[in-house]
Amino acid sequence: MLRPDYPIRTERLTLRPFADGDYDDLHLMTGDPEVVRYLYWEVHTPQETRAALERRKGQAALTEEGQWLTLAMQAEPEGQPRVVGQVVLRWASVAHRQGELGFTLNPAFQGRGYAREAAEAMLRLGFEDLGLHRIYAACDTRNTASWGLLTRLGMRREAHFVEDEIFKGEYGDQYIYAMLDREWRSRQTSST
Ligand SMILES: CC(C)(COP(=O)(O)OP(=O)(O)OC[C@H]1O[C@@H](n2cnc3c(N)ncnc32)[C@H](O)[C@@H]1OP(=O)(O)O)[C@@H](O)C(=O)NCCC(=O)NCCS
Protein backbone atom coordinates (compact mmCIF):
# COMPACT_ATOMS: atom_id res chain seq x y z
CA MET A 1 0.00 0.00 0.00
CA LEU A 2 1.32 3.45 -0.91
CA ARG A 3 -0.36 6.73 0.08
CA PRO A 4 2.32 9.37 -0.46
CA ASP A 5 2.39 12.51 1.63
CA TYR A 6 1.67 15.24 -0.95
CA PRO A 7 3.17 17.37 -2.28
CA ILE A 8 6.40 15.52 -3.02
CA ARG A 9 9.17 18.05 -3.63
CA THR A 10 12.28 17.48 -5.73
CA GLU A 11 14.94 20.05 -6.60
CA ARG A 12 12.76 21.86 -9.19
CA LEU A 13 9.45 19.99 -9.21
CA THR A 14 6.37 19.49 -7.11
CA LEU A 15 4.81 16.06 -7.69
CA ARG A 16 1.14 15.88 -6.79
CA PRO A 17 -2.12 14.27 -7.92
CA PHE A 18 -3.86 15.85 -10.91
CA ALA A 19 -6.54 18.44 -10.09
CA ASP A 20 -9.43 20.14 -11.93
CA GLY A 21 -7.33 23.15 -13.02
CA ASP A 22 -4.84 20.94 -14.94
CA TYR A 23 -6.96 20.43 -18.08
CA ASP A 24 -5.13 22.92 -20.34
CA ASP A 25 -1.66 21.64 -19.48
CA LEU A 26 -2.78 18.00 -19.73
CA HIS A 27 -4.31 18.56 -23.17
CA LEU A 28 -1.04 20.07 -24.42
CA MET A 29 0.36 16.55 -23.91
CA THR A 30 -2.58 14.29 -24.72
CA GLY A 31 -3.47 16.35 -27.80
CA ASP A 32 0.04 16.34 -29.30
CA PRO A 33 0.81 13.74 -32.02
CA GLU A 34 4.55 13.78 -31.22
CA VAL A 35 3.88 13.01 -27.54
CA VAL A 36 1.63 10.02 -28.28
CA ARG A 37 3.77 8.67 -31.13
CA TYR A 38 5.16 5.81 -29.03
CA LEU A 39 2.31 5.58 -26.50
CA TYR A 40 -0.50 3.04 -26.76
CA TRP A 41 -3.21 5.65 -27.27
CA GLU A 42 -3.93 8.15 -30.05
CA VAL A 43 -4.24 11.95 -29.79
CA HIS A 44 -7.11 12.82 -27.44
CA THR A 45 -10.06 15.00 -28.27
CA PRO A 46 -10.87 17.66 -25.63
CA GLN A 47 -13.61 15.36 -24.33
CA GLU A 48 -11.17 12.42 -24.04
CA THR A 49 -8.69 14.63 -22.17
CA ARG A 50 -11.46 15.64 -19.72
CA ALA A 51 -12.21 11.95 -19.10
CA ALA A 52 -8.47 11.22 -18.74
CA LEU A 53 -8.17 14.04 -16.18
CA GLU A 54 -11.05 12.55 -14.16
CA ARG A 55 -9.29 9.15 -14.13
CA ARG A 56 -5.94 10.66 -13.18
CA LYS A 57 -7.47 12.59 -10.27
CA GLY A 58 -8.35 9.21 -8.75
CA GLN A 59 -4.86 7.74 -9.21
CA ALA A 60 -3.24 9.21 -6.09
CA ALA A 61 -2.54 6.02 -4.09
CA LEU A 62 -1.72 2.35 -4.65
CA THR A 63 -3.94 0.09 -2.60
CA GLU A 64 -4.08 -2.99 -4.81
CA GLU A 65 -2.28 -4.76 -7.63
CA GLY A 66 -2.74 -3.34 -11.10
CA GLN A 67 -3.38 0.25 -10.00
CA TRP A 68 -1.54 3.26 -11.43
CA LEU A 69 -0.15 6.09 -9.35
CA THR A 70 -0.26 9.04 -11.76
CA LEU A 71 1.31 12.31 -10.64
CA ALA A 72 1.50 15.73 -12.23
CA MET A 73 4.99 17.25 -12.51
CA GLN A 74 4.53 20.87 -11.56
CA ALA A 75 7.32 23.35 -12.22
CA GLU A 76 7.63 27.11 -12.45
CA PRO A 77 9.60 27.47 -15.70
CA GLU A 78 8.58 31.11 -16.23
CA GLY A 79 7.77 31.94 -12.61
CA GLN A 80 4.21 30.57 -12.90
CA PRO A 81 3.20 27.03 -11.82
CA ARG A 82 2.67 24.77 -14.84
CA VAL A 83 2.09 21.05 -15.21
CA VAL A 84 5.03 20.18 -17.46
CA GLY A 85 4.54 16.42 -17.48
CA GLN A 86 3.23 13.33 -15.79
CA VAL A 87 4.95 10.38 -14.18
CA VAL A 88 3.40 7.01 -13.37
CA LEU A 89 4.12 3.95 -11.27
CA ARG A 90 1.97 0.82 -11.75
CA TRP A 91 1.82 -1.80 -9.02
CA ALA A 92 2.39 -4.68 -11.42
CA SER A 93 2.60 -7.53 -8.88
CA VAL A 94 2.09 -7.67 -5.13
CA ALA A 95 3.40 -11.25 -4.77
CA HIS A 96 6.55 -10.58 -6.79
CA ARG A 97 6.96 -6.96 -5.61
CA GLN A 98 7.15 -5.57 -9.16
CA GLY A 99 6.37 -2.09 -10.46
CA GLU A 100 6.29 -0.36 -13.84
CA LEU A 101 7.54 3.18 -14.45
CA GLY A 102 6.40 5.63 -17.14
CA PHE A 103 6.77 9.32 -17.99
CA THR A 104 5.54 11.97 -20.41
CA LEU A 105 6.60 15.59 -20.86
CA ASN A 106 5.02 18.47 -22.74
CA PRO A 107 7.52 18.92 -25.64
CA ALA A 108 8.04 22.57 -24.64
CA PHE A 109 9.63 21.34 -21.42
CA GLN A 110 11.74 18.46 -22.72
CA GLY A 111 15.52 18.65 -22.62
CA ARG A 112 15.67 20.15 -19.12
CA GLY A 113 16.02 17.01 -17.00
CA TYR A 114 12.50 17.28 -15.54
CA ALA A 115 11.52 13.69 -16.46
CA ARG A 116 14.67 12.32 -14.89
CA GLU A 117 14.05 14.27 -11.68
CA ALA A 118 10.46 13.00 -11.45
CA ALA A 119 11.39 9.43 -12.37
CA GLU A 120 14.04 9.31 -9.62
CA ALA A 121 11.36 10.36 -7.12
CA MET A 122 9.05 7.59 -8.37
CA LEU A 123 11.83 4.99 -8.09
CA ARG A 124 12.35 6.19 -4.51
CA LEU A 125 8.63 5.84 -3.73
CA GLY A 126 8.53 2.38 -5.31
CA PHE A 127 11.62 0.96 -3.64
CA GLU A 128 11.68 2.78 -0.31
CA ASP A 129 8.00 3.36 0.48
CA LEU A 130 6.17 0.58 -1.39
CA GLY A 131 8.98 -1.97 -0.84
CA LEU A 132 9.23 -3.13 -4.45
CA HIS A 133 11.94 -5.60 -5.48
CA ARG A 134 12.09 -4.66 -9.18
CA ILE A 135 10.87 -1.72 -11.24
CA TYR A 136 10.77 -2.01 -15.02
CA ALA A 137 9.84 0.10 -18.00
CA ALA A 138 8.96 -0.87 -21.56
CA CYS A 139 9.55 1.32 -24.59
CA ASP A 140 9.50 1.18 -28.36
CA THR A 141 13.08 0.62 -29.59
CA ARG A 142 12.70 3.74 -31.80
CA ASN A 143 11.95 5.91 -28.74
CA THR A 144 15.54 7.03 -28.17
CA ALA A 145 14.52 9.82 -25.76
CA SER A 146 12.79 7.27 -23.55
CA TRP A 147 15.51 4.65 -23.43
CA GLY A 148 18.16 7.38 -23.10
CA LEU A 149 16.39 8.50 -19.94
CA LEU A 150 16.07 4.91 -18.65
CA THR A 151 19.82 4.49 -19.19
CA ARG A 152 20.59 7.75 -17.34
CA LEU A 153 18.43 6.50 -14.46
CA GLY A 154 20.77 3.51 -14.17
CA MET A 155 18.25 0.93 -15.35
CA ARG A 156 19.57 -2.11 -17.24
CA ARG A 157 18.39 -3.15 -20.69
CA GLU A 158 17.00 -6.61 -19.91
CA ALA A 159 15.25 -7.54 -23.10
CA HIS A 160 14.70 -6.70 -26.73
CA PHE A 161 11.41 -8.17 -27.86
CA VAL A 162 11.24 -8.47 -31.62
CA GLU A 163 7.83 -7.88 -33.21
CA ASP A 164 6.09 -9.14 -30.05
CA GLU A 165 2.96 -7.03 -30.61
CA ILE A 166 1.13 -5.00 -33.19
CA PHE A 167 1.67 -1.33 -32.33
CA LYS A 168 -0.39 1.29 -34.18
CA GLY A 169 -1.08 -1.06 -37.07
CA GLU A 170 2.33 -2.72 -37.53
CA TYR A 171 4.62 -5.08 -35.68
CA GLY A 172 7.13 -3.23 -33.51
CA ASP A 173 10.09 -3.99 -31.24
CA GLN A 174 10.29 -3.18 -27.52
CA TYR A 175 13.06 -2.80 -25.00
CA ILE A 176 12.54 -3.70 -21.35
CA TYR A 177 14.67 -1.82 -18.83
CA ALA A 178 14.74 -2.64 -15.11
CA MET A 179 16.33 -1.91 -11.76
CA LEU A 180 16.39 -4.04 -8.59
CA ASP A 181 16.06 -2.73 -5.04
CA ARG A 182 19.70 -3.63 -4.27
CA GLU A 183 20.85 -1.72 -7.38
CA TRP A 184 18.82 1.29 -6.23
CA ARG A 185 20.42 1.11 -2.76
CA SER A 186 23.93 0.81 -4.14
CA ARG A 187 23.33 3.82 -6.42
CA GLN A 188 22.17 5.84 -3.40
CA THR A 189 25.27 4.83 -1.44
CA SER A 190 27.66 5.57 -4.28
CA SER A 191 26.12 9.00 -4.95
CA THR A 192 26.53 10.21 -1.34
C1 LIG B 1 10.68 10.33 -22.81
C2 LIG B 1 10.72 11.81 -22.41
C3 LIG B 1 9.94 12.02 -21.11
C4 LIG B 1 12.20 12.21 -22.21
O5 LIG B 1 12.26 13.62 -21.97
P6 LIG B 1 13.69 14.37 -21.82
O7 LIG B 1 13.42 15.80 -21.60
O8 LIG B 1 14.56 13.98 -22.97
O9 LIG B 1 14.30 13.67 -20.53
P10 LIG B 1 15.04 14.30 -19.25
O11 LIG B 1 14.10 14.95 -18.36
O12 LIG B 1 15.87 13.21 -18.68
O13 LIG B 1 15.98 15.42 -19.88
C14 LIG B 1 17.20 15.05 -20.46
C15 LIG B 1 17.72 16.12 -21.36
O16 LIG B 1 17.71 17.37 -20.67
C17 LIG B 1 19.05 17.91 -20.66
N18 LIG B 1 19.16 18.73 -19.43
C19 LIG B 1 19.15 20.09 -19.44
N20 LIG B 1 19.20 20.53 -18.18
C21 LIG B 1 19.26 19.47 -17.37
C22 LIG B 1 19.35 19.32 -15.97
N23 LIG B 1 19.35 20.37 -15.15
N24 LIG B 1 19.39 18.06 -15.45
C25 LIG B 1 19.38 16.98 -16.27
N26 LIG B 1 19.30 17.07 -17.62
C27 LIG B 1 19.24 18.31 -18.17
C28 LIG B 1 19.94 16.70 -20.77
O29 LIG B 1 21.21 17.03 -21.27
C30 LIG B 1 19.15 15.87 -21.78
O31 LIG B 1 19.30 16.40 -23.06
P32 LIG B 1 19.73 15.49 -24.33
O33 LIG B 1 18.65 14.44 -24.47
O34 LIG B 1 19.78 16.46 -25.45
O35 LIG B 1 21.04 14.90 -23.94
C36 LIG B 1 10.12 12.71 -23.54
O37 LIG B 1 10.84 12.50 -24.74
C38 LIG B 1 8.63 12.44 -23.80
O39 LIG B 1 7.77 12.93 -23.07
N40 LIG B 1 8.31 11.70 -24.88
C41 LIG B 1 6.91 11.47 -25.25
C42 LIG B 1 6.22 10.47 -24.33
C43 LIG B 1 6.95 9.14 -24.29
O44 LIG B 1 7.32 8.60 -25.33
N45 LIG B 1 7.16 8.62 -23.07
C46 LIG B 1 7.85 7.38 -22.85
C47 LIG B 1 7.02 6.22 -23.16
S48 LIG B 1 7.95 4.70 -22.97
Q: Is the pLDDT of residue 192 over 80?
A: no
Q: What are phi and psi of 5, to 5 degrees?
A: -85, 105
DSSP-assigned letters across all residues of 99-132:
EEEEEEE-GGG-SSSHHHHHHHHHHHIIIIIS--
Q: Is the pLDDT of residue 5 over 90?
A: yes
Q: Return the best residue to mutate from 30, 103, 176 for the ligand 1 pocket (most ligand atoms within 8 A of CB).
A: 103
Ligand 1 binding pocket includes 130 (Cβ within 6 Å): no
Instruction: Kindly indicate the confidence band of residue 106, based on its pLDDT and cuts at 50, 70 and 90.
Output: very high
Please tell me the predicted confidence (pLDDT) of residue 191.
Answer: 76
Q: What share of the chain is helix, strand, coil (3-state, %, to 5)?
A: 35, 35, 30
Q: Return the best residue to mutate from 37, 70, 90, 116 for the ligand 1 pocket (most ligand atoms within 8 A of CB).
A: 116
Q: Return the best residue to mutate from 90, 146, 167 for the ligand 1 pocket (most ligand atoms within 8 A of CB).
A: 146
Per-residue pLDDT reduced to its tens digit, 137-151:
999 999 999 999 999
CATH superfamily, domain 8-190, is: Gcn5-related N-acetyltransferase (GNAT) (3.40.630.30)
Closest listed residue to residue 72, CA positions, set 111, 36, 122, 35: 122
Per-residue pLDDT reduced to its tens digit, 28-61:
999 999 999 999 999 999 999 999 999 999 999 9
Ligand 1 binding pocket includes 12 (Cβ within 6 Å): no
* Residues of the chain above pLDDT 90, percent: 96
Ligand 1 binding pocket includes 146 (Cβ within 6 Å): yes
Ligand 1 binding pocket includes 93 (Cβ within 6 Å): no
Strand partners, 179: 135
What is the residue extent of each domain of the chain? 8-190
DSSP summary character for residue 49: H
